[in-house]
Amino acid sequence: MAIVGAEKKQAAKPSLDVLHGLVKNDLAAVNRRIIEKMQSPVALIPQLAGHIIAAGGKRLRPMLTLAAARLCGYGEGERHCALAACVEFIHTATLLHDDVVDESLLRRGQESANAVWGNQASVLVGDFLFSRSFELMVEDGSLEVLRILSNASAVIAEGEVLQLVTTNDTGTGEEDYLEVIRCKTATLFAAAAEIGAVVAGRPETEQRALADYGMNLGIAFQLIDDLLDYSALQAQLGKTVGDDFREGKMSLPVVLAFARANDEEREFWTRAMERMEQEEGDLGQAIALLQKHGVLDETAARARDYAVRAKQALAVFADGEIRAAMMDAVDFAVDRAY
């Protein structure tokens, strides 16, 4: 079977390639639908939305919906494509609002929408995409999908507010941090995968299994993202490093390092991340402290734990190329750290 060869090849360096290959046609349909549905007589809306949507990103979340639907045997129709577009709209709306909240001027190596068109337009176009997403769900007509994605949207907003509250607060604990990333990131991964089972009309056990898969994958994914923000590897890839540090965001590496810090180190973290009095060389000092306490490795180990759980969640499904590719996606999310 050709796919076994592909799996073996992937085993060396996990990637999204196999999964991407399996849902390629569906994903093209999703992209067409996104372009079509972001149109508006108000020209600034497709301009701004097109800027952030065209900038790419991996389309990981809509891919989860597509893959989950296929895993559940969904064969006919394009409902999974329509709903995958809804998921990407919600994600894009949160990115637009995130960049306003974080005052980010860059997104995926390009100028952010707020840098080009201002905060006002970014807030409002985010609102538009969000609303449009619900319009498309209503067109699809599944109250269960609407329930899952409206709940996910509220939880995402809660996570974003919680992150805002914990920013610059060195009193943030591990559980607070995990709650933030569960809400702001993993919930949409979970919802994206879960609705694949809903369109396929599969029983609740499979729906729950996919939600579980997405939730654990999302947590692993965000843990690695947070680790990479302090990583030399990320710098080698030409991506910025230290964004979280400069914003005073209490991600797991810092939470762990602060818990283990001596008095002098605590004063460093408090000055740099709570009082936000940052000096030349502070990022290097922060990375040195994270390494000293081994918390980057520990963050990676936690991510691997969640990755294992994500893969275990798929055990209720029969083995096959889609399931294998979805497991590969988990490995990809974690192996970015190495």
Cβ–Cβ < 8 Å for 223, 181:
yes
Q: Nearer Cβ to a copy of itself, position 74 or 128?
A: 128
Give residues with Cβ within 8 angstroms of 142, minimum separation 6: 198, 199
Taking residue 294's Cβ as centre, other Cβ atoms within 10 Å add up to 13
Cβ–Cβ < 8 Å for 291, 241:
no
Cβ–Cβ < 8 Å for 229, 334:
no
Task: Compose the 142-171 pattern: x for residues touching a copy of itself by CB under 8 A, - for all others.
Answer: -x--xx--xx-xx-xxx-xxx-xx------
Q: Does 35 bind a copy of itself (CB under 8 A)?
A: no
Cα 196 to chain center, whole Å?
17
How near is the Cβ of 99 to a copy of itself at its closest, in Å? 11
Size of the site for a copy of itself (CB under 8 A): 40
The DSSP element (H or E) to which 110 belongs, if any, is strand 110-111
- Measure the CA–CA gap between 85 and 34, rounded to whole angstroms: 6
Q: Nearer Cβ to a copy of itself, position 145 or 272?
A: 145
Going from the C-alpha of 166 to that of each of 161, 171, 175, 222, 334, the distances in angstroms are 9, 8, 12, 16, 25
- Measure the CA–CA gap between 8 and 331, rounded to whole angstroms: 13
Task: Compose the 260-299 pattern: x for residues touching a copy of itself by CB under 8 A, - for all others.
Answer: ----------------------------------------
Task: Compose the 242-261 pattern: x for residues touching a copy of itself by CB under 8 A, - for all others.
Answer: --------------------
Task: Compose the 111-140 pattern: x for residues touching a copy of itself by CB under 8 A, - for all others.
Answer: --------xxx-xxx-xx-xxx-xx-xx--
Strand, coil or helix: what is 200? coil
How near is the Cβ of 290 to a copy of itself at its closest, in Å? 26
How near is the Cβ of 192 to a copy of itself at its closest, in Å? 16
Output DSSP code: residue 184: I
Cα 282 to chain center, whole Å?
28
- Measure the CA–CA gap between 337 and 227, rounded to whole angstroms: 7
Task: Compose the 85-114 pattern: x for residues touching a copy of itself by CB under 8 A, - for all others.
Answer: ---------x--x--xx-------------
How near is the Cβ of 116 to a copy of itself at its closest, in Å? 14
Q: Does 53 bind a copy of itself (CB under 8 A)?
A: no
How near is the Cβ of 92 to a copy of itself at its closest, in Å? 13
Q: Does 45 bind a copy of itself (CB under 8 A)?
A: yes
How near is the Cβ of 191 to a copy of itself at its closest, in Å? 12
> Which of 26, 56, 64, 12 shows the shortest CA–CA distance to 216?
64
Q: Nearer Cβ to a copy of itself, position 132 or 304?
A: 132
- Measure the CA–CA gap between 208 and 300, rounded to whole angstroms: 26
Binding site for a copy of itself (CB under 8 A): 40-42, 44-45, 94, 97, 100-101, 119-121, 123-125, 127-128, 130-132, 134-135, 137-138, 141, 143, 146-147, 150-151, 153-154, 156-158, 160-162, 164-165
